[in-house]
C-alpha cells in the first residue's frame, strides 16, 4: 500500500524528473545607463561592453550601450573602435541621423574625407533640415575646395616660371620643394605686411622692405660656395611665421 501511495504522489507520467531550467532574463541595462551618466569612460567601456556582448540584450538597449561606448571611445581618442561601434549601431538601425553625423566627424578627424562626405550626405538624406548635418557637409565641401585649390598650386612658386630669367628663379622652378617654399614665403609675407599696415602703415612698409632685402640677398648669394638656398628660405619662412604669431 505504501508503494502505491508513493507512485500516486509523483507527477503525472510516472517517475519524477528534474525541473526544466528557468529561462535566463535579459541583462539589466541600468548599470550601463549609470556608467554613461557618470562620464567615466573606462567604466562605460567595461559595463556597457558586458551589455553589448550579451546575446539576450534587447535591441534598443544594445543600441544605447553601443552609442555610449562609442562616445567614450571618442573621448579617449580611440577613433577606430568608436567608428566600429557606430557602424554596428547603423547596422541595427540605419535611420539614426545623429549617429551618421557622429561617425562622419570621426571619419573627418581621421582624414578620410570621402567617408565623411558619405555619412553627412546620408544624414541629410534622412533629414534635409538637420542643422548639424548641413553645417558639417558645408564646411567639409569648403575644405575640399581649399584642398583642391592648394593641390593645383603644388610645385608652383609665387612668380611665373615661363618668364624666370635669374639663375635662382630657374633653380626654384626646377625644384617642387623650393617652389612650394617660395609660394609659402610670399603668402606669409603678404599676411604679416597686411596685418601690420592695418595698425601702422609705416610698420607695413618696413616689413615689406625686409622681404625685398631677403630677395636681393638670395639672388646675390645663390651659387656661392656654402650658400644653402633651401635653408635660407626655410629660415625666412620661420621668421615670418614668428612675426604672424606676435601680431
pLDDT score of 148: 61
**What is the average pLDDT value for the chain, to the nearest integer?**
87
- The structure's pTM equals 0.53
> pLDDT of 148-167, one tens digit each?
655 555 678 888 898 888 99
Angle of CA points 73, 74, 76, to nearest 5°: 65
pLDDT tops 50 at residue 112: yes
Assign 27 to helix, strand or coil. coil
How high is the pLDDT of residue 98? 95
Give me the pLDDT at residue 151, please: 58
Same domain, 169 and 221: yes
Q: Which of 13 and 101 is assigned the larger pLDDT?
A: 101
Q: Establish if 108 belongs to a structural domain.
A: yes
Q: 12 lies in a domain?
A: no
Classify the C-alpha dihedral 10-15-16-21 as positive or negative. negative
Decide which of 153, 180, 195 is a domain's last residue.
153
Helix (H, G, I), strand (E, B) or coil at 59: helix
Q: Are 47 and 32 in contact (CB under 8 A)?
A: yes
Domain presence at residue 15: no
Give me the domain span that covers residue 108. Answer: 97-153
For the segment 21-40, the average pLDDT, to the nearest whole number, is 85
CA–CA dist 215, 172 (Å, integer): 13
Our count of domains for the chain comes to 3
pLDDT of residue 160: 87
Amino acid at each position: 500500500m505504501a508503494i502505491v501511495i508513493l507512485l500516486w504522489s509523483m507527477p503525472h507520467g510516472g517517475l519524477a524528473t528534474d525541473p526544466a531550467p528557468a529561462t535566463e532574463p535579459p541583462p539589466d541595462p541600468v548599470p550601463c545607463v549609470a556608467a554613461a551618466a557618470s562620464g567615466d569612460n573606462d567604466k562605460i567601456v567595461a559595463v556597457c561592453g558586458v551589455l553589448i556582448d550579451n546575446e539576450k540584450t534587447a535591441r534598443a538597449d544594445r543600441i544605447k550601450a553601443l552609442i555610449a561606448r562609442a562616445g567614450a571611445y571618442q573621448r579617449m581618442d580611440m577613433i577606430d573602435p568608436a567608428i566600429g561601434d557606430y557602424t554596428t549601431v547603423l547596422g541595427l538601425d540605419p535611420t539614426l541621423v545623429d549617429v551618421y553625423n557622429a561617425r562622419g566627424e570621426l571619419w573627418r578627424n581621421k582624414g578620410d574625407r570621402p567617408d565623411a562626405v558619405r555619412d553627412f550626405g546620408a544624414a541629410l538624406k534622412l533629414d534635409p533640415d538637420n542643422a548639424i548635418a548641413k553645417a558639417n557637409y558645408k564646411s567639409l565641401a569648403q575644405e575640399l575646395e581649399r584642398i583642391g585649390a592648394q593641390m593645383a598650386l603644388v610645385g608652383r612658386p609665387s612668380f611665373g616660371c615661363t618668364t624666370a630669367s635669374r639663375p635662382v628663379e630657374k633653380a626654384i622652378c626646377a625644384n617642387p620643394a623650393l617652389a612650394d617654399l617660395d609660394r609659402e614665403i610670399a603668402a606669409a609675407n603678404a599676411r604679416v605686411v597686411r596685418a601690420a599696415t592695418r595698425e601702422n602703415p609705416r610698420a607695413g612698409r618696413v616689413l615689406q622692405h625686409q622681404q625685398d632685402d631677403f630677395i636681393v640677398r638670395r639672388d646675390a648669394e645663390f651659387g656661392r660656395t656654402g650658400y644653402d638656398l633651401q635653408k635660407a628660405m626655410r629660415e625666412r619662412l620661420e621668421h615670418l611665421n614668428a612675426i604672424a604669431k606676435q601680431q
